[in-house]
Chains A and B, each alone.
Chain A
Amino acid sequence: MARLVFENVSVRYPIYNARAQSLRHQFMRIATGGRIAAEAGHTVSVTALDEVSFELNSGDSIGLIGHNGAGKSTLLRTMAGIYTQDSGRIIREGRIATVLEIGSGMDPELSGYENILRMGMLMGMSLKEARSKIPEIEEFTELGDFLNLPVRTYSSGMTMRLMFAVGTSFQPEILLVDEMFGTGDAGFQEKAKARMHDLIANAEIFVFASHDHVMLGNLCSSVYELKHGKMTHLPDFHTKILEQSEQ
């Protein structure tokens, strides 16, 4: 059983400017009592998540919408345990997979096959397990002989296919996907959709951040909006989508 519970979770994000990241300025600040390099100490803090609470259980598939910088990626990363909350409580049960940024964890100089092993091992598989996933990934990505070529020769759509295939290959119980997933062509999107439906059918949790309302409507059973770090449920999201597509 997968479960993901947030109780009043807040994440504050320090943003360092070039001066705050400079050791020389920090020394100056200490040495001069802050008179000369007064600016150096100022790190702006952004509240990315503000007392967010929700509970997700097996079978839930939720969509996240919101403006750029509304905190969608921060929320996904906090769900994954990459960012740690400043306050509040998080309960995570189940194996988590993330498909967040295109090409992360891949070495562009190495071939597709080598990258499958690399990514698999980064995600905690043994070499043997990672090897055993290769046929399935070959089939899913349909990249054929391209898998023998270095990943730097791939288009972004191809990299996306590979990433998505590897990310979902070890049956995650909680799958977190960010935006960029739109780069694949129609054929791939169909396949990806089918795989996500499988995952959701296998009673797992799926969280998807996107600006593509139609896709959100297709994949997610409920949709939330993030605004100024607050999360609100949009109960009539699906009916609105229907209305829009009818117009």
Chain B
Amino acid sequence: MSSRWLETRRDISEALNRLPAALFLSWSDTRARYKRSMLGPFWLTLGTAIGVGGLGFVWSTLFKMDKATFIPLLSVGLILWGFIAGIVTESSQLFVQNAQIIRNLRIPLFFYPIKLVLRHLINLAHNAVVIVIVFLIYPPHWHPGILLAIPGFLLVVLNLIWMSLFIGMFAARYRDTETAITNFMPLLFFMSPVLFKAEQLGIGAWVVWLNPFSYFISVVRDPLLNFPTPSFVWPVAIGMAILGWAITLWMFNSRRTRIPYWI
């Protein structure tokens, strides 16, 4: 085994050892952001609640949809989208934003994607309050399959970690990646089944499945709301995780030591 690979493995294991620190720092980042506000991080919850409430009411009326189906669909979809898009967009700043720390303290580089994902998990936990409220108003159909949402969610997180590291490295080297991502995200939003179910598009549904994020929403939301999941969704999501991790680890291994010079 080459010494380079040993170093890479050490970087990753040291980063995982610092999980408590990552959690503490992401929590302190979240608090710092809402430092001088009364509600603190619950502004996130309130903002999401307003969004879901407003959009849910307007669109269900506009599209003449049943509120009991549409509002849970929209709230879970929007919150998941916020989680995914937040990580993907901010990953383009992953190393660039932490340049000062990277150039001055010796911290494993794998620490940064972990910290970013943790911070968004904290945000998601705040937003999940909205889902709970929605479920209290429109109770879901309880069935054993609902538990599939948990492995589904873990699979999404696993995918998002490699994406974050991949985008972070790429964006550190090529600075216009950030602009490219911010420009593409709205397009991907409309190509993802946040506001509708993929099958509602009928024959055009394939457009949705071109978007990798559609799979992420599907593996979590479908079991949660008792929708049927198309048979190819799970294999594709698992395949993405395997292939993505393989490519990202290869890239991280060969280019890791260059990152401090790029930023």
B28 is contacted by which of A82, A98, A118, A150 (Cβ under 8 Å)? A118
Any B CB within 8 A of the CB of A183: no
- Chain B residues with CB under 8 Å of A123's CB are 105
Given contacts A104-B105, A109-B32, contact A122 B25 (CB under 8 A): yes
A21 lies within 8 A of B173 (CB): yes
* Closest residue on chain A to residue B175 by CB atoms: A21
A98 lies within 8 A of B18 (CB): no
Any B CB within 8 A of the CB of A153: no
Any A CB within 8 A of the CB of B9: no
Q: How many residues of B contact A (CB 8 A)?
A: 30
Question: In whole angstroms, what is the CA distance A97 to B100 when docked?
Answer: 15
Any B CB within 8 A of the CB of A13: yes
Given contacts A14-B261, A122-B101, contact A23 B24 (CB under 8 A): no
The B2-31 residues at the A interface (CB cut-off 8 A) are 18, 20-21, 24-25, 28-29, 31
B175 lies within 8 A of A80 (CB): no
Contact with B along A121-137 (1 / 0, CB 8 A): 11110110000000000
- Chain B residues with CB under 8 Å of A121's CB are 18, 20-21, 24-25
- Chain A residues with CB under 8 Å of B262's CB are 16
B174 lies within 8 A of A114 (CB): no
- Chain B residues with CB under 8 Å of A16's CB are 173, 262
B35 lies within 8 A of A82 (CB): no
Question: In whole angstroms, what is the CA distance A114 to B261 when docked?
Answer: 30
Given contacts A23-B180, A110-B32, contact A104 B25 (CB under 8 A): no
A109 lies within 8 A of B35 (CB): yes
B104 is contacted by which of A22, A98, A150 (Cβ under 8 Å)? A98
Question: Which of the listed residues A22, A83, A96, A121 has the most CB atoms from chain B within 10 Å of its own CB?
Answer: A121
Nearest-CB distance from B198 to chain A (Å)?
31
A98 lies within 8 A of B106 (CB): yes
Any B CB within 8 A of the CB of A58: no
Given contacts A21-B174, A23-B176, A24-B176, contact A82 B103 (CB under 8 A): yes
Contact with B along A37-48 (1 / 0, CB 8 A): 000000000000
B18 lies within 8 A of A82 (CB): no
Nearest-CB distance from B101 to chain A (Å)?
5
**Tier of interface size on chain A:** 20 to 34
B175 lies within 8 A of A100 (CB): no
Given contacts A82-B102, A110-B32, contact A23 B174 (CB under 8 A): yes
Nearest-CB distance from A83 to chain B (Å)?
6
Any B CB within 8 A of the CB of A77: yes
Question: In whole angstroms, what is the CA distance A80 to B33 when docked?
Answer: 31
- Chain B residues with CB under 8 Å of A23's CB are 174-177, 180
- Chain A residues with CB under 8 Å of B180's CB are 23
* Closest residue on chain A to residue B17 by CB atoms: A124
Contact with B along A112-156 (1 / 0, CB 8 A): 001001100111101100000000000000000000001000000
B103 lies within 8 A of A77 (CB): yes
B28 lies within 8 A of A107 (CB): yes
The A84-118 residues at the B interface (CB cut-off 8 A) are 84, 96, 98, 100-101, 103-105, 107, 109-110, 114, 117-118
Question: In whole angstroms, what is the CA distance A88 to B20 when docked?
Answer: 35
Any B CB within 8 A of the CB of A26: yes
Given contacts A104-B105, A109-B32, contact A122 B21 (CB under 8 A): yes
A104 lies within 8 A of B20 (CB): no
Nearest-CB distance from A107 to chain B (Å)?
5
A13 lies within 8 A of B105 (CB): no
Question: In whole angstroms, what is the CA distance A80 to B18 when docked?
Answer: 19
B104 lies within 8 A of A100 (CB): yes
Nearest-CB distance from B130 to chain A (Å)?
26
- Chain B residues with CB under 8 Å of A24's CB are 176
Any A CB within 8 A of the CB of B107: yes
B105 lies within 8 A of A22 (CB): no
A-B contact pairs, 23 of them (CB 8 A): A13-B261, A14-B258, A21-B175, A23-B174, A24-B176, A82-B105, A98-B105, A100-B104, A101-B100, A104-B100, A104-B101, A104-B104, A105-B101, A105-B104, A109-B33, A110-B28, A110-B31, A114-B28, A117-B28, A118-B25, A121-B24, A122-B107, A150-B35
The 5 closest A-B pairs by CB, nearest first: A84-B257, A23-B174, A121-B21, A104-B104, A104-B100
Known pairs A23-B175, A110-B32; list 12 more (Cβ under 8 Å). A13-B261, A16-B173, A24-B176, A77-B103, A84-B257, A100-B104, A109-B35, A117-B24, A118-B28, A122-B101, A126-B20, A127-B24
- Chain A contacts to B: CB under 8 angstroms: 13-14, 16, 21-24, 26, 77, 80-84, 96, 98, 100-101, 103-105, 107, 109-110, 114, 117-118, 121-124, 126-127, 150
